[in-house]
Chain A
Amino acid sequence: MYDGGKIIVGLAVFVVLFTFPFWFNIGSAAYKEPELQKPKQGKECVLPTQEMRAEHMQLLNDWRDQVVRNKEQYYHSPNGKVYWKSLTMTCMKCHTDKEKFCDKCHNSLDVSPYCWDCHVVPEGGE
């Protein structure tokens, strides 16, 4: 093998760098799902919790397009109820505190959605 030493050293450096995130985090605490504030009023959400956890961003995007562009203001939930499609007027009526609900997961997962750049956080969070 020509330049075997250099290749092996290079490979070793590459492997060490590539796996840096893994060994750097050895010993630090595992990811814990943040505790969210449960709404006091309203027992069920527009979709089951698991689905909301995974799909709420898509749902909000769909709601936005349907309301702004197609005048479709009512959401017929699979739970049989009809909801007014609105982040501030429907979602935040139950999940009253943005900091104890939205921000908890968003911060711990380091995502920063820009909803609140325009939408006004309703008061009423304690």
Chain B
Amino acid sequence: MSASRRKFLKLAGLTALGWSVCPSILRASTSEVIGDRAEGKALHAKRWAMAVDTHALNEKIMQKCVNICHKIHNVPEFDSEEEIKWIWAAPFEHLFPGQMHSRLMEVPEEKTLSLCNHCNNPPCVRVCPTKATFQREDGIVMMDFHRCIGCRYCMAACPYGSRSFNFSDPRKHLKEPTPDFPTRTKGVVEKCEFCAERLTEGKQPACVEVSEGALLFGDLEDPHSDVSKALEERYSIRRKPELGTEPCVYYLI
């Protein structure tokens, strides 16, 4: 009796194993991607980070970065306090209020680029009551626009002013919406997402692509990435490091 039960269990186990293996084999053989977005092209990292080469940036490049970002992400244009921005040019003393003074030996460029810092310890994520803002495993601080209820806690929590709120219908302020990216509605907060949607397609963030080398993007944990190499060779600062948010956008001075 016990021998036949043993045999039965063995057989059952083998059958289950066969079932679990077979579908994946079938799938692999007939796999086909619709369009040109092949599986496996996506860029991965343990910790995405950006380095801003403040000397290489100039007014023209900064404008190019802002324009491309705002165009592909359907960021509306306002000429008022309702302004919405994902990436923007700002004076150094605004971005680094604690680190600039009038007797600085080497005065940096007048302005540089500012965007979401994708902090390692993001205060916006901690305060979001609906988990619309969350941090991915690769460090990107993402937004699920579907879930945002517009409470603006995240805007109060972010010490960098990286978040903008849609006080009115953004569609009315978009000249030509890009169909490949959603717009937002009134009452939703938005910000830079390190072009998460482009990373899955295997592309670098749009601003990095047009920056003529002034913006570097890569894996902070990989010693051979552009970002790691630049940080090793040059002196860099981060915005408001004393707050403990651990920003992942570095400024090369």
Contacts and interface: CB of A to CB of B under 8 A. Distances in A.
Interface of A: 64, 68-69, 71, 73-74, 76, 80-84, 88-90, 93, 117-123
B30 A120 contact: no
B179 A73 contact: no
A120 B182 contact: yes
A84 B37 contact: yes
A80 B33 CA distance: 10
A119 B185 CA distance: 10
B179 A122 contact: yes
Contact of B34 (A69, A73, A81, A118): A81
Nearest to A119: B182
B30 A81 contact: yes
Interface string B14-37: 000000000000110011111101
A120 B144 contact: no
B33 A84 contact: yes
A89 B146 contact: no
* 9 nearest A-B residue pairs (beta carbon): A80-B30, A118-B182, A120-B179, A122-B179, A120-B177, A119-B182, A68-B144, A73-B200, A81-B32
A93 B137 CA distance: 31
A89 B74 CA distance: 16
Contacts of A119: 182-183
A9 B138 CA distance: 70
B47 to A, nearest CB: 15
Contacts of A88: 179-180
A118 B200 contact: no
A117 B185 contact: yes
30 contacts: A64-B146, A69-B142, A71-B42, A71-B136, A73-B200, A76-B31, A80-B26, A80-B32, A81-B30, A81-B31, A81-B32, A81-B34, A82-B31, A82-B32, A82-B33, A82-B34, A82-B39, A83-B34, A84-B37, A89-B35, A117-B185, A118-B145, A118-B182, A119-B182, A119-B183, A120-B178, A120-B181, A120-B182, A120-B183, A122-B179
Interface of B: 26-27, 30-35, 37, 39, 42, 74, 134, 136, 142, 144-146, 177-185, 200
Label chain B's interface by main secondary structure.
loop
B58 to A, nearest CB: 33
Nearest to A73: B200
Given A68-B144, A73-B200, A121 B179 contact: yes
Given A81-B30, A120-B181, 8 more contacts: A74-B33, A80-B27, A82-B32, A82-B39, A84-B33, A93-B35, A118-B185, A120-B178
B31 A69 contact: no
A117 B185 CA distance: 7
A88 B146 CA distance: 16
- Most interface-central of B39, B179, B184 (chain A CB within 10 A): B179
Contacts of B181: 120
B42 A73 contact: yes
A122 B182 CA distance: 11
A117 B148 CA distance: 14
Nearest to B143: A68
- Most interface-central of A69, A93, A122 (chain B CB within 10 A): A69
